[in-house]
Amino acid sequence: MDALPYYISEENVALLEKHGVLSRAEVHARYGIELENYYKQIHIEALTMLDMIKKDILPAAAAYCRDLAETALRKKQLGLEPGFERDILEKISSRADRLYAEMERLEADVDGAPQSADALEIAKYYRSVIFTQMEETRKPADAIESLVGSKYWPYPTYGALLFSVV
């Protein structure tokens, strides 16, 4: 993204025109297309991330937490200490709360994206605000993935992708 403005620098445009590669209008058209493709791709990825969190990751964490809580309660009724169940439940619960908060921030950032600004300004917004928030949103999701039981997790794990034979 940072290199794209150099595409339309006067010396580069002159060089492309001099050798008959592209006209000034063609260079500027390609520049605009590249910027638009850049921010639209991030927009689609952000919407996909939000959809995955809402429909898959948070429900998987909630289902696993429900089962852990039921197991912990049963152990307590039997006079046993629900050690690891309580620990994992607390970890998942706190990370799910953080994921939900980060998801809300991402959703607000996507909703607040400029619509009528210059393409470069829109691309800069998507890079500095949305892409950065996507990175922050992913952190608690990755932490949850390492804690949730595999039968609850809605996606194949890296291990399953790397080592399973279909």
> What is the amino acid identity at position 128?
S
Q: How does pLDDT run across 103-131, given as a tens digit for each residue?
A: 999 999 999 999 988 999 999 999 999 99
Q: Cα 62 vs. chain centroid, distance in angstroms?
A: 20
Annotated domain spans of the chain: 39-154
CATH of 39-154 given 3.40.50.150, 1.20.120.1200, 3.30.830.10, 1.20.120.1560: 1.20.120.1560
Residue 77 structure tokens? 């009724």
pLDDT tops 90 at residue 163: no
Q: For residue 5, give the 3-state DSSP assignment.
A: helix
| Confidence (pTM) | 0.88
Mean pLDDT within 137-145:
97
